[in-house]
A and B are shown apart, each in its own frame.
Chain A
Amino acid sequence: MKKFLNDPVNFVDEMLDGIYRAHPEVTYTAEDKRCMVTAKPKTGKVGIATGGGSGHLPLFLGYVGDGMLDGAAVGGVFQSPSSEQMYQVTKAIDQGAGVLYIYGNYSGDIINFDMAAELADLDGIQVKQCVGNDDVASSKVGEEHKRRGVAGIYFVYKAAGAAAAEGLSLDEVHRLAEKARLRTRTMGVALSSCVVPEIGHATFSIGEDEMEIGMGIHGEPGISRKKLGAADAVVDEMMERIFAEQDYKSGDEVAVLMNGLGGTPLEELYILFRRVAQLLEGRGVKAKHVWVGEFATSMEMAGASVSILHLDAELDRLVAAPANTPFFKHFSN
Protein backbone atom coordinates (compact mmCIF):
# COMPACT_ATOMS: atom_id res chain seq x y z
CA MET A 1 0.00 0.00 0.00
CA LYS A 2 1.28 3.46 -0.93
CA LYS A 3 -1.01 6.15 0.46
CA PHE A 4 -0.75 9.60 1.97
CA LEU A 5 -1.81 8.90 5.53
CA ASN A 6 -1.14 9.86 9.08
CA ASP A 7 -2.81 7.33 11.37
CA PRO A 8 -5.20 5.31 9.13
CA VAL A 9 -7.76 5.42 11.96
CA ASN A 10 -8.11 9.17 11.34
CA PHE A 11 -8.55 8.85 7.57
CA VAL A 12 -12.16 10.06 7.42
CA ASP A 13 -11.94 12.73 10.08
CA GLU A 14 -8.77 14.28 8.64
CA MET A 15 -10.31 14.23 5.18
CA LEU A 16 -13.37 16.05 6.58
CA ASP A 17 -11.21 18.56 8.41
CA GLY A 18 -9.50 19.35 5.11
CA ILE A 19 -12.81 19.72 3.31
CA TYR A 20 -14.24 22.14 5.90
CA ARG A 21 -11.05 24.21 5.78
CA ALA A 22 -11.16 24.35 1.98
CA HIS A 23 -14.88 24.92 1.51
CA PRO A 24 -16.60 27.29 3.95
CA GLU A 25 -19.85 26.85 1.99
CA VAL A 26 -20.36 23.58 3.85
CA THR A 27 -20.44 23.13 7.60
CA TYR A 28 -21.62 20.56 10.14
CA THR A 29 -24.30 20.15 12.76
CA ALA A 30 -24.61 18.49 16.19
CA GLU A 31 -20.90 19.13 16.82
CA ASP A 32 -20.19 16.10 14.63
CA LYS A 33 -18.03 16.66 11.54
CA ARG A 34 -19.68 13.62 10.00
CA CYS A 35 -23.01 15.48 9.87
CA MET A 36 -22.39 17.78 6.91
CA VAL A 37 -24.92 20.47 5.98
CA THR A 38 -24.93 23.43 3.65
CA ALA A 39 -23.84 26.71 5.20
CA LYS A 40 -26.34 28.53 2.97
CA PRO A 41 -29.79 27.04 3.74
CA LYS A 42 -32.74 28.26 1.64
CA THR A 43 -35.88 29.16 3.61
CA GLY A 44 -38.92 27.02 2.87
CA LYS A 45 -37.16 24.63 0.46
CA VAL A 46 -37.57 20.85 0.61
CA GLY A 47 -34.41 19.50 2.21
CA ILE A 48 -32.43 16.74 0.49
CA ALA A 49 -30.16 14.50 2.52
CA THR A 50 -27.85 11.71 1.48
CA GLY A 51 -25.34 9.55 3.23
CA GLY A 52 -23.13 6.55 2.93
CA GLY A 53 -19.64 5.29 3.49
CA SER A 54 -16.50 7.28 2.75
CA GLY A 55 -14.09 6.33 0.01
CA HIS A 56 -16.21 7.42 -2.96
CA LEU A 57 -15.51 11.16 -3.36
CA PRO A 58 -17.10 13.21 -4.78
CA LEU A 59 -19.90 10.87 -3.66
CA PHE A 60 -21.69 11.47 -1.30
CA LEU A 61 -20.90 14.65 0.55
CA GLY A 62 -19.38 16.38 -2.48
CA TYR A 63 -22.83 17.19 -3.81
CA VAL A 64 -23.96 19.26 -0.82
CA GLY A 65 -24.53 22.75 -2.22
CA ASP A 66 -26.76 24.97 -4.35
CA GLY A 67 -29.04 23.12 -6.74
CA MET A 68 -28.14 19.71 -5.33
CA LEU A 69 -28.20 18.47 -1.70
CA ASP A 70 -28.57 20.10 1.72
CA GLY A 71 -26.84 17.57 3.91
CA ALA A 72 -24.88 14.32 4.04
CA ALA A 73 -24.18 11.86 6.83
CA VAL A 74 -20.65 10.56 6.44
CA GLY A 75 -19.68 7.02 7.43
CA GLY A 76 -16.30 5.33 7.81
CA VAL A 77 -14.68 3.93 4.68
CA PHE A 78 -17.34 1.77 3.01
CA GLN A 79 -19.44 1.84 6.23
CA SER A 80 -22.89 3.26 6.79
CA PRO A 81 -23.19 6.37 8.96
CA SER A 82 -25.35 5.94 12.08
CA SER A 83 -29.07 6.63 12.22
CA GLU A 84 -28.30 9.35 14.77
CA GLN A 85 -26.06 11.16 12.29
CA MET A 86 -28.73 10.91 9.60
CA TYR A 87 -31.35 12.16 12.04
CA GLN A 88 -29.19 15.14 13.07
CA VAL A 89 -28.68 16.08 9.42
CA THR A 90 -32.43 15.76 8.84
CA LYS A 91 -33.27 18.06 11.74
CA ALA A 92 -30.71 20.62 10.63
CA ILE A 93 -31.87 20.84 7.01
CA ASP A 94 -35.65 20.69 7.50
CA GLN A 95 -37.15 24.04 6.55
CA GLY A 96 -40.70 22.98 7.34
CA ALA A 97 -41.24 21.59 3.83
CA GLY A 98 -40.02 18.06 4.62
CA VAL A 99 -36.89 16.13 3.72
CA LEU A 100 -36.09 13.67 0.94
CA TYR A 101 -33.47 10.96 1.53
CA ILE A 102 -31.53 9.81 -1.53
CA TYR A 103 -29.01 7.03 -0.96
CA GLY A 104 -27.78 3.75 -2.39
CA ASN A 105 -29.37 0.34 -1.94
CA TYR A 106 -27.17 -1.18 0.79
CA SER A 107 -28.65 -2.91 3.84
CA GLY A 108 -26.74 -0.89 6.47
CA ASP A 109 -27.74 2.42 4.88
CA ILE A 110 -31.37 1.33 4.52
CA ILE A 111 -31.80 0.29 8.15
CA ASN A 112 -30.20 3.49 9.42
CA PHE A 113 -32.08 5.86 7.09
CA ASP A 114 -35.36 4.08 7.98
CA MET A 115 -34.58 4.58 11.66
CA ALA A 116 -33.67 8.23 11.10
CA ALA A 117 -36.96 8.75 9.24
CA GLU A 118 -38.84 7.26 12.19
CA LEU A 119 -37.05 9.57 14.64
CA ALA A 120 -37.74 12.55 12.38
CA ASP A 121 -41.41 11.56 12.20
CA LEU A 122 -41.59 11.73 16.00
CA ASP A 123 -40.43 15.35 15.65
CA GLY A 124 -43.13 16.03 13.06
CA ILE A 125 -40.68 16.19 10.13
CA GLN A 126 -42.07 14.56 6.99
CA VAL A 127 -39.51 12.33 5.25
CA LYS A 128 -39.65 10.53 1.92
CA GLN A 129 -37.03 8.23 0.49
CA CYS A 130 -35.53 7.37 -2.88
CA VAL A 131 -33.11 4.43 -2.88
CA GLY A 132 -30.70 4.28 -5.82
CA ASN A 133 -30.39 0.92 -7.56
CA ASP A 134 -28.92 1.73 -10.97
CA ASP A 135 -26.26 -1.01 -11.15
CA VAL A 136 -27.46 -3.32 -13.91
CA ALA A 137 -24.77 -5.91 -13.14
CA SER A 138 -25.85 -6.61 -9.57
CA SER A 139 -29.12 -8.41 -10.28
CA LYS A 140 -31.31 -9.44 -13.14
CA VAL A 141 -34.38 -7.77 -14.62
CA GLY A 142 -37.36 -8.43 -12.35
CA GLU A 143 -35.11 -8.30 -9.26
CA GLU A 144 -34.15 -4.64 -9.52
CA HIS A 145 -34.81 -4.21 -5.78
CA LYS A 146 -31.63 -6.22 -5.16
CA ARG A 147 -29.49 -3.94 -7.30
CA ARG A 148 -26.80 -1.78 -5.77
CA GLY A 149 -26.74 1.97 -6.07
CA VAL A 150 -23.67 3.30 -7.88
CA ALA A 151 -22.68 6.38 -9.92
CA GLY A 152 -26.14 6.87 -11.47
CA ILE A 153 -27.36 8.33 -8.18
CA TYR A 154 -25.72 11.50 -9.48
CA PHE A 155 -28.65 11.96 -11.87
CA VAL A 156 -31.14 11.47 -9.04
CA TYR A 157 -29.34 14.14 -6.99
CA LYS A 158 -29.31 16.45 -9.98
CA ALA A 159 -33.00 16.06 -10.80
CA ALA A 160 -34.24 16.18 -7.21
CA GLY A 161 -31.86 19.00 -6.29
CA ALA A 162 -33.06 21.16 -9.18
CA ALA A 163 -36.70 20.37 -8.40
CA ALA A 164 -36.25 21.40 -4.77
CA ALA A 165 -34.44 24.57 -5.86
CA GLU A 166 -37.47 25.42 -8.05
CA GLY A 167 -39.55 25.39 -4.87
CA LEU A 168 -41.56 22.25 -5.65
CA SER A 169 -43.27 20.31 -2.84
CA LEU A 170 -41.84 17.20 -1.18
CA ASP A 171 -44.27 14.98 -3.12
CA GLU A 172 -43.17 16.52 -6.42
CA VAL A 173 -39.45 16.39 -5.60
CA HIS A 174 -39.90 12.75 -4.59
CA ARG A 175 -41.82 11.93 -7.78
CA LEU A 176 -39.09 13.47 -9.94
CA ALA A 177 -36.31 11.72 -7.99
CA GLU A 178 -38.11 8.41 -8.52
CA LYS A 179 -38.54 9.13 -12.20
CA ALA A 180 -34.81 9.87 -12.60
CA ARG A 181 -33.98 6.72 -10.64
CA LEU A 182 -36.21 4.50 -12.75
CA ARG A 183 -34.82 5.89 -15.99
CA THR A 184 -31.12 5.54 -15.07
CA ARG A 185 -28.92 2.50 -15.70
CA THR A 186 -25.22 2.01 -14.94
CA MET A 187 -22.60 -0.55 -15.92
CA GLY A 188 -19.09 -0.61 -14.50
CA VAL A 189 -15.79 -2.33 -15.17
CA ALA A 190 -12.81 -2.64 -12.81
CA LEU A 191 -9.14 -3.12 -13.72
CA SER A 192 -7.60 -3.05 -10.25
CA SER A 193 -8.61 -3.23 -6.60
CA CYS A 194 -9.25 -0.56 -4.02
CA VAL A 195 -7.37 -0.46 -0.69
CA VAL A 196 -9.25 0.36 2.53
CA PRO A 197 -6.76 2.40 4.62
CA GLU A 198 -7.39 0.61 7.91
CA ILE A 199 -7.00 -2.77 6.21
CA GLY A 200 -3.91 -1.75 4.27
CA HIS A 201 -3.98 -4.24 1.41
CA ALA A 202 -6.01 -4.78 -1.76
CA THR A 203 -9.65 -5.80 -1.18
CA PHE A 204 -9.37 -8.36 -4.00
CA SER A 205 -6.74 -9.47 -6.49
CA ILE A 206 -7.07 -9.31 -10.23
CA GLY A 207 -4.51 -10.30 -12.87
CA GLU A 208 -2.40 -7.64 -14.63
CA ASP A 209 -4.15 -8.43 -17.91
CA GLU A 210 -7.68 -8.94 -16.52
CA MET A 211 -10.84 -6.89 -16.09
CA GLU A 212 -14.01 -7.54 -14.13
CA ILE A 213 -17.23 -6.45 -15.76
CA GLY A 214 -19.94 -5.32 -13.36
CA MET A 215 -17.85 -5.00 -10.21
CA GLY A 216 -19.44 -2.99 -7.39
CA ILE A 217 -17.91 0.19 -5.96
CA HIS A 218 -16.74 -1.66 -2.84
CA GLY A 219 -15.21 -4.49 -4.84
CA GLU A 220 -18.31 -6.69 -4.84
CA PRO A 221 -18.11 -9.45 -7.45
CA GLY A 222 -19.32 -8.61 -10.95
CA ILE A 223 -20.70 -10.63 -13.83
CA SER A 224 -17.53 -11.90 -15.46
CA ARG A 225 -13.78 -11.73 -15.20
CA LYS A 226 -11.77 -12.04 -18.36
CA LYS A 227 -8.84 -10.77 -20.36
CA LEU A 228 -8.96 -7.01 -20.82
CA GLY A 229 -9.97 -6.31 -24.41
CA ALA A 230 -9.79 -3.19 -26.59
CA ALA A 231 -11.56 -0.13 -25.12
CA ASP A 232 -14.29 -0.19 -27.78
CA ALA A 233 -15.05 -3.87 -27.13
CA VAL A 234 -15.31 -3.19 -23.36
CA VAL A 235 -17.77 -0.35 -23.98
CA ASP A 236 -19.75 -2.48 -26.43
CA GLU A 237 -20.20 -5.15 -23.76
CA MET A 238 -21.23 -2.64 -21.09
CA MET A 239 -23.61 -0.72 -23.32
CA GLU A 240 -25.29 -3.86 -24.59
CA ARG A 241 -26.57 -4.48 -21.04
CA ILE A 242 -27.83 -0.92 -20.69
CA PHE A 243 -29.48 -0.88 -24.11
CA ALA A 244 -31.27 -4.11 -23.22
CA GLU A 245 -33.10 -2.23 -20.45
CA GLN A 246 -33.76 1.14 -22.03
CA ASP A 247 -36.40 1.55 -24.66
CA TYR A 248 -35.25 4.28 -27.08
CA LYS A 249 -36.98 5.63 -30.11
CA SER A 250 -34.96 7.42 -32.74
CA GLY A 251 -34.69 11.07 -31.72
CA ASP A 252 -34.78 10.36 -27.99
CA GLU A 253 -32.34 12.20 -25.77
CA VAL A 254 -30.15 10.96 -22.92
CA ALA A 255 -27.74 12.29 -20.33
CA VAL A 256 -24.45 10.42 -20.02
CA LEU A 257 -22.16 10.15 -17.01
CA MET A 258 -18.77 8.69 -17.93
CA ASN A 259 -17.29 8.09 -14.51
CA GLY A 260 -13.79 7.16 -13.43
CA LEU A 261 -13.48 4.89 -10.38
CA GLY A 262 -10.42 6.66 -8.96
CA GLY A 263 -7.37 5.26 -10.75
CA THR A 264 -8.17 5.78 -14.42
CA PRO A 265 -6.93 8.87 -16.28
CA LEU A 266 -9.38 11.29 -17.89
CA GLU A 267 -7.80 10.58 -21.26
CA GLU A 268 -8.99 6.98 -21.06
CA LEU A 269 -12.47 8.08 -19.96
CA TYR A 270 -12.75 10.15 -23.12
CA ILE A 271 -11.64 7.16 -25.22
CA LEU A 272 -14.44 5.18 -23.57
CA PHE A 273 -16.97 7.99 -23.99
CA ARG A 274 -16.11 8.24 -27.70
CA ARG A 275 -17.43 4.72 -28.16
CA VAL A 276 -20.51 5.37 -25.99
CA ALA A 277 -21.33 8.36 -28.21
CA GLN A 278 -20.83 6.29 -31.38
CA LEU A 279 -23.21 3.60 -30.11
CA LEU A 280 -25.87 6.14 -29.14
CA GLU A 281 -25.51 7.84 -32.52
CA GLY A 282 -25.98 4.49 -34.22
CA ARG A 283 -29.35 4.19 -32.52
CA GLY A 284 -30.38 7.71 -33.40
CA VAL A 285 -30.20 8.79 -29.76
CA LYS A 286 -28.83 12.19 -28.83
CA ALA A 287 -26.39 12.54 -25.90
CA LYS A 288 -27.78 15.90 -24.84
CA HIS A 289 -25.96 16.30 -21.52
CA VAL A 290 -22.56 14.73 -21.00
CA TRP A 291 -20.32 14.62 -17.96
CA VAL A 292 -16.90 12.95 -18.07
CA GLY A 293 -14.77 12.73 -14.93
CA GLU A 294 -14.81 11.35 -11.39
CA PHE A 295 -18.26 11.43 -9.79
CA ALA A 296 -18.37 8.22 -7.73
CA THR A 297 -15.10 6.47 -7.00
CA SER A 298 -13.81 3.48 -5.11
CA MET A 299 -10.57 4.78 -3.58
CA GLU A 300 -7.78 4.08 -6.08
CA MET A 301 -9.63 1.48 -8.13
CA ALA A 302 -8.79 1.67 -11.82
CA GLY A 303 -11.89 1.31 -13.90
CA ALA A 304 -14.91 3.18 -15.15
CA SER A 305 -18.67 3.17 -15.22
CA VAL A 306 -21.14 4.57 -17.67
CA SER A 307 -24.56 5.77 -16.53
CA ILE A 308 -27.33 6.68 -18.94
CA LEU A 309 -30.40 8.69 -17.99
CA HIS A 310 -33.20 8.43 -20.54
CA LEU A 311 -34.49 12.01 -20.63
CA ASP A 312 -37.96 13.40 -21.03
CA ALA A 313 -38.92 17.07 -21.07
CA GLU A 314 -38.99 17.61 -17.30
CA LEU A 315 -35.86 15.59 -16.57
CA ASP A 316 -34.09 17.50 -19.33
CA ARG A 317 -34.99 20.78 -17.62
CA LEU A 318 -33.84 19.58 -14.19
CA VAL A 319 -30.58 17.99 -15.33
CA ALA A 320 -29.69 21.17 -17.21
CA ALA A 321 -30.34 23.47 -14.22
CA PRO A 322 -27.35 25.17 -12.57
CA ALA A 323 -25.62 23.69 -9.53
CA ASN A 324 -22.76 24.87 -7.37
CA THR A 325 -21.18 22.58 -4.77
CA PRO A 326 -17.60 22.26 -3.55
CA PHE A 327 -17.04 19.30 -5.88
CA PHE A 328 -19.43 20.04 -8.71
CA LYS A 329 -20.27 23.18 -10.66
CA HIS A 330 -22.70 23.34 -13.52
CA PHE A 331 -23.66 26.43 -15.48
CA SER A 332 -26.95 26.61 -17.29
CA ASN A 333 -26.89 27.50 -20.99
Chain B
Amino acid sequence: MDAITASDLILLFGAWKQLFAEQREFLIALDGKVGDSDLGITMSKSFAAAAEAVEAEGEAAGIAKLLRTAGATMARTAPSTMGTLTATGFLRASKAVETAASLGTPEMAAFWAAYRDGIAERGKAKVGDKTIVDVLDPVARTLEEQAAAGVSLAPALAAAAAAAEDALEQTKTLVAQHGKAAAFQEKTVGLQDAGATVGALILRELSKFASAQ
Protein backbone atom coordinates (compact mmCIF):
# COMPACT_ATOMS: atom_id res chain seq x y z
CA MET B 1 0.00 0.00 0.00
CA ASP B 2 1.04 3.61 -0.55
CA ALA B 3 -0.77 5.07 2.43
CA ILE B 4 -2.51 3.99 5.61
CA THR B 5 -6.07 5.33 5.90
CA ALA B 6 -8.19 5.67 9.03
CA SER B 7 -9.86 2.33 8.39
CA ASP B 8 -6.42 0.72 7.86
CA LEU B 9 -5.26 2.22 11.15
CA ILE B 10 -8.04 0.43 13.03
CA LEU B 11 -6.93 -2.85 11.45
CA LEU B 12 -3.30 -2.03 12.28
CA PHE B 13 -4.10 -1.65 15.98
CA GLY B 14 -5.86 -5.01 15.75
CA ALA B 15 -2.66 -6.50 14.32
CA TRP B 16 -0.57 -4.93 17.10
CA LYS B 17 -2.99 -6.29 19.69
CA GLN B 18 -2.59 -9.78 18.20
CA LEU B 19 1.20 -9.38 18.09
CA PHE B 20 1.54 -8.46 21.76
CA ALA B 21 -0.87 -11.20 22.83
CA GLU B 22 1.49 -13.65 21.06
CA GLN B 23 4.67 -12.04 22.41
CA ARG B 24 3.39 -11.72 25.98
CA GLU B 25 5.33 -14.62 27.50
CA PHE B 26 8.48 -13.84 25.50
CA LEU B 27 8.48 -10.24 26.80
CA ILE B 28 7.79 -11.34 30.37
CA ALA B 29 10.81 -13.62 30.24
CA LEU B 30 13.02 -11.01 28.58
CA ASP B 31 12.07 -8.28 31.06
CA GLY B 32 12.46 -10.70 33.95
CA LYS B 33 16.22 -10.86 33.39
CA VAL B 34 16.86 -7.31 34.63
CA GLY B 35 13.40 -5.81 35.24
CA ASP B 36 10.23 -6.71 37.07
CA SER B 37 8.70 -9.01 34.44
CA ASP B 38 5.66 -6.83 33.84
CA LEU B 39 6.48 -5.69 30.29
CA GLY B 40 4.58 -8.49 28.54
CA ILE B 41 1.54 -7.78 30.68
CA THR B 42 1.76 -4.02 30.11
CA MET B 43 2.08 -4.29 26.35
CA SER B 44 -0.61 -6.91 25.82
CA LYS B 45 -3.05 -5.02 28.05
CA SER B 46 -2.40 -1.57 26.62
CA PHE B 47 -2.52 -2.58 22.94
CA ALA B 48 -5.65 -4.66 23.54
CA ALA B 49 -7.37 -1.68 25.16
CA ALA B 50 -6.19 0.69 22.41
CA ALA B 51 -7.36 -1.66 19.62
CA GLU B 52 -10.80 -1.95 21.18
CA ALA B 53 -11.05 1.81 21.69
CA VAL B 54 -10.16 2.74 18.09
CA GLU B 55 -12.52 0.10 16.77
CA ALA B 56 -15.32 1.51 18.90
CA GLU B 57 -14.50 5.01 17.73
CA GLY B 58 -14.65 4.13 14.03
CA GLU B 59 -12.87 5.41 10.91
CA ALA B 60 -14.98 8.57 10.64
CA ALA B 61 -12.94 10.05 13.51
CA GLY B 62 -9.93 10.31 11.21
CA ILE B 63 -6.26 9.43 11.68
CA ALA B 64 -5.26 12.03 14.30
CA LYS B 65 -8.28 11.45 16.52
CA LEU B 66 -7.84 7.68 16.38
CA LEU B 67 -4.19 7.98 17.39
CA ARG B 68 -5.16 10.29 20.21
CA THR B 69 -7.80 7.84 21.42
CA ALA B 70 -5.26 5.02 21.26
CA GLY B 71 -2.69 7.02 23.25
CA ALA B 72 -5.13 8.26 25.85
CA THR B 73 -6.56 4.76 26.30
CA MET B 74 -3.10 3.29 26.73
CA ALA B 75 -2.18 5.94 29.28
CA ARG B 76 -5.24 5.03 31.30
CA THR B 77 -4.82 1.28 31.14
CA ALA B 78 -1.05 1.01 31.25
CA PRO B 79 0.06 -0.23 34.63
CA SER B 80 3.72 0.73 34.23
CA THR B 81 6.25 3.19 32.86
CA MET B 82 6.67 1.51 29.48
CA GLY B 83 2.93 1.72 28.86
CA THR B 84 2.96 5.41 29.71
CA LEU B 85 5.85 5.96 27.31
CA THR B 86 4.16 4.07 24.47
CA ALA B 87 1.02 6.10 25.11
CA THR B 88 3.01 9.32 24.94
CA GLY B 89 4.40 8.24 21.58
CA PHE B 90 0.94 7.83 20.07
CA LEU B 91 -0.33 11.11 21.55
CA ARG B 92 2.63 13.01 20.08
CA ALA B 93 2.27 11.19 16.75
CA SER B 94 -1.36 12.26 16.72
CA LYS B 95 -0.33 15.91 16.94
CA ALA B 96 2.33 15.45 14.24
CA VAL B 97 -0.21 14.17 11.70
CA GLU B 98 -3.06 16.43 12.83
CA THR B 99 -4.25 17.31 9.31
CA ALA B 100 -3.32 14.11 7.46
CA ALA B 101 -6.13 12.18 5.75
CA SER B 102 -3.81 9.19 5.37
CA LEU B 103 -0.26 8.20 6.26
CA GLY B 104 2.15 8.01 3.33
CA THR B 105 5.94 7.99 3.71
CA PRO B 106 6.32 11.71 4.64
CA GLU B 107 3.52 11.49 7.23
CA MET B 108 4.99 8.26 8.59
CA ALA B 109 8.36 10.01 8.98
CA ALA B 110 6.69 12.83 10.94
CA PHE B 111 4.78 10.23 12.99
CA TRP B 112 7.91 8.38 14.13
CA ALA B 113 9.99 11.49 14.71
CA ALA B 114 7.27 12.77 17.07
CA TYR B 115 6.92 9.32 18.65
CA ARG B 116 10.68 9.19 19.32
CA ASP B 117 10.84 12.75 20.65
CA GLY B 118 7.84 12.25 22.93
CA ILE B 119 9.30 9.12 24.51
CA ALA B 120 12.78 10.61 24.83
CA GLU B 121 11.36 13.70 26.54
CA ARG B 122 8.98 11.90 28.89
CA GLY B 123 11.45 9.16 29.78
CA LYS B 124 14.37 11.61 29.89
CA ALA B 125 16.36 9.16 27.78
CA LYS B 126 18.80 9.86 24.98
CA VAL B 127 20.30 7.70 22.26
CA GLY B 128 22.77 5.21 23.77
CA ASP B 129 20.96 4.79 27.10
CA LYS B 130 19.80 1.27 26.13
CA THR B 131 16.10 2.04 25.77
CA ILE B 132 13.41 2.00 23.09
CA VAL B 133 14.83 5.35 21.91
CA ASP B 134 17.82 3.46 20.50
CA VAL B 135 15.42 1.73 18.10
CA LEU B 136 13.08 4.66 17.45
CA ASP B 137 15.85 7.05 16.49
CA PRO B 138 17.15 5.05 13.49
CA VAL B 139 13.53 4.31 12.52
CA ALA B 140 12.67 8.01 12.41
CA ARG B 141 15.89 8.90 10.58
CA THR B 142 15.44 6.10 8.04
CA LEU B 143 11.89 7.22 7.30
CA GLU B 144 13.04 10.82 6.85
CA GLU B 145 15.61 9.63 4.31
CA GLN B 146 13.05 7.47 2.53
CA ALA B 147 10.58 10.36 2.41
CA ALA B 148 13.25 12.70 1.02
CA ALA B 149 14.05 10.10 -1.66
CA GLY B 150 10.37 9.77 -2.57
CA VAL B 151 10.16 6.07 -1.68
CA SER B 152 6.62 4.69 -1.32
CA LEU B 153 5.26 3.47 2.01
CA ALA B 154 5.76 -0.32 1.94
CA PRO B 155 9.47 -0.30 0.96
CA ALA B 156 10.11 2.71 3.23
CA LEU B 157 8.66 0.84 6.21
CA ALA B 158 10.59 -2.30 5.25
CA ALA B 159 13.80 -0.23 5.43
CA ALA B 160 12.71 1.26 8.77
CA ALA B 161 11.90 -2.17 10.22
CA ALA B 162 15.30 -3.46 9.09
CA ALA B 163 16.96 -0.46 10.75
CA ALA B 164 14.98 -1.27 13.91
CA GLU B 165 16.22 -4.89 13.95
CA ASP B 166 19.84 -3.75 13.51
CA ALA B 167 19.45 -1.16 16.25
CA LEU B 168 17.92 -3.73 18.57
CA GLU B 169 20.90 -6.00 18.05
CA GLN B 170 23.17 -3.04 18.85
CA THR B 171 21.47 -2.51 22.24
CA LYS B 172 23.26 -5.68 23.39
CA THR B 173 26.49 -3.70 23.51
CA LEU B 174 25.03 -0.92 25.70
CA VAL B 175 24.81 -0.45 29.48
CA ALA B 176 21.32 0.25 30.88
CA GLN B 177 20.86 3.74 32.32
CA HIS B 178 17.15 3.77 33.10
CA GLY B 179 14.54 1.91 35.09
CA LYS B 180 15.12 -1.12 37.23
CA ALA B 181 17.69 -2.44 34.71
CA ALA B 182 19.99 0.50 35.54
CA ALA B 183 20.83 -1.14 38.87
CA PHE B 184 22.37 -4.06 36.96
CA GLN B 185 24.76 -1.81 35.02
CA GLU B 186 27.52 -3.89 33.34
CA LYS B 187 25.46 -7.07 33.75
CA THR B 188 23.07 -5.71 31.11
CA VAL B 189 25.80 -5.88 28.45
CA GLY B 190 25.04 -8.81 26.14
CA LEU B 191 21.30 -8.58 26.73
CA GLN B 192 18.99 -6.92 24.23
CA ASP B 193 16.92 -4.19 25.85
CA ALA B 194 13.32 -5.18 26.56
CA GLY B 195 11.87 -1.77 25.70
CA ALA B 196 13.87 -1.60 22.48
CA THR B 197 12.49 -5.05 21.66
CA VAL B 198 8.99 -3.63 21.92
CA GLY B 199 9.99 -0.87 19.48
CA ALA B 200 11.38 -3.34 16.95
CA LEU B 201 8.25 -5.54 17.26
CA ILE B 202 5.94 -2.57 16.62
CA LEU B 203 7.92 -1.67 13.48
CA ARG B 204 8.12 -5.25 12.24
CA GLU B 205 4.34 -5.58 12.44
CA LEU B 206 3.78 -2.18 10.84
CA SER B 207 6.02 -3.09 7.90
CA LYS B 208 4.30 -6.46 7.53
CA PHE B 209 0.92 -4.73 7.57
CA ALA B 210 1.91 -2.20 4.89
CA SER B 211 3.40 -4.89 2.62
CA ALA B 212 0.47 -7.31 2.88
CA GLN B 213 -2.36 -4.96 1.91
* Cβ-neighbour of B122 out of A82, A114, A119 (below 8 A): A114
Nearest A residue to B87 via CB reads: A115
Q: How many of chain B's residues touch chain A, expressed as a range?
A: 10 to 19
In contact, B91 and A111 (Cβ under 8 angstroms): no
* Cβ-neighbour of B88 out of A84, A108, A118 (below 8 A): A118
In chain A between 13 and 51, which residues have their CB closer than 8 angstroms to a CB of chain B?
Answer: none
In contact, B122 and A84 (Cβ under 8 angstroms): no
In contact, B84 and A115 (Cβ under 8 angstroms): yes
In contact, A108 and B75 (Cβ under 8 angstroms): no
Q: Main SS of chain A's interface residues?
A: helix
Nearest A residue to B179 via CB reads: A107
Distance from A303 Cβ to chain B, minimum over Cβ atoms (Å): 26
Q: Which residues of B contact A114 (CB under 8 A)?
A: 122
Does B68 lie at the interface of the complex (its beta carbon under 8 Å from any beta carbon of A)?
A: yes
Task: Compute how far the CA of A119 lies from the CA of B122 in the bound complex, rounded to whole angstroms.
Answer: 13
Task: Compute how far the CA of A82 lies from the CA of B75 in the bound complex, rounded to whole angstroms.
Answer: 9
* Cβ-neighbour of B123 out of A82, A84, A111, A112 (below 8 A): A111
Q: Which residues of B contact A1 (CB under 8 A)?
A: none
Does A5 lie at the interface of the complex (its beta carbon under 8 Å from any beta carbon of B)?
A: no
A87 and B76 contact, Cβ closer than 8 Å, known pairs A111-B81, A122-B91: yes
Distance from A214 Cβ to chain B, minimum over Cβ atoms (Å): 21
Contact with A along B71-91 (1 / 0, CB 8 A): 010011111010011011001
Task: Compute how far the CA of A83 lies from the CA of B83 in the bound complex, rounded to whole angstroms.
Answer: 11
In chain A between 68 and 84, which residues have their CB closer than 8 angstroms to a CB of chain B?
Answer: 82-84
Nearest B residue to A84 via CB reads: B76
In contact, A115 and B122 (Cβ under 8 angstroms): yes
In contact, A119 and B84 (Cβ under 8 angstroms): no
In contact, A115 and B75 (Cβ under 8 angstroms): yes
In contact, B84 and A122 (Cβ under 8 angstroms): no
Candidate in A115, A118, A119 with the most chain B CB atoms within 10 angstroms: A115
* Cβ-neighbour of A111 out of B76, B79, B84 (below 8 A): B84
A119 and B75 contact, Cβ closer than 8 Å, known pairs A83-B84, A112-B84: yes
* Cβ-neighbour of A119 out of B72, B77, B81, B123 (below 8 A): B72
Q: Which residues of A contact B75 (CB under 8 A)?
A: 83-84, 87, 115, 118-119
A118 and B91 contact, Cβ closer than 8 Å, known pairs A84-B75, A108-B81: yes
Task: Compute how far the CA of A107 lies from the CA of B180 in the bound complex, rounded to whole angstroms.
Answer: 12
Q: Which residues of B contact A82 (CB under 8 A)?
A: 79
Q: Which residues of A contact B68 (CB under 8 A)?
A: 122
Q: Which residues of B contact A118 (CB under 8 A)?
A: 75, 88, 91
In chain A between 263 and 300, which residues have their CB closer than 8 angstroms to a CB of chain B?
Answer: none
In chain B between 67 and 111, which residues have their CB closer than 8 angstroms to a CB of chain A?
Answer: 68, 72, 75-79, 81, 84-85, 87-88, 91
Task: Compute how far the CA of A112 lies from the CA of B76 in the bound complex, rounded to whole angstroms.
Answer: 10
Distance from B186 Cβ to chain A, minimum over Cβ atoms (Å): 21
Instruction: Show 5 A/B contacts (Cβ-Cβ < 8 Å), sorted by A.
Output: A82-B79, A115-B75, A118-B75, A118-B88, A122-B68
Top 7 A-B pairs ranked by shortest CB distance? A84-B76, A115-B84, A115-B75, A83-B75, A114-B122, A111-B84, A83-B84
In addition to A111-B84, A111-B85, 5 A-B residue pairs with Cβ atoms within 8 Å of each other are A83-B78, A107-B124, A111-B122, A112-B84, A119-B75
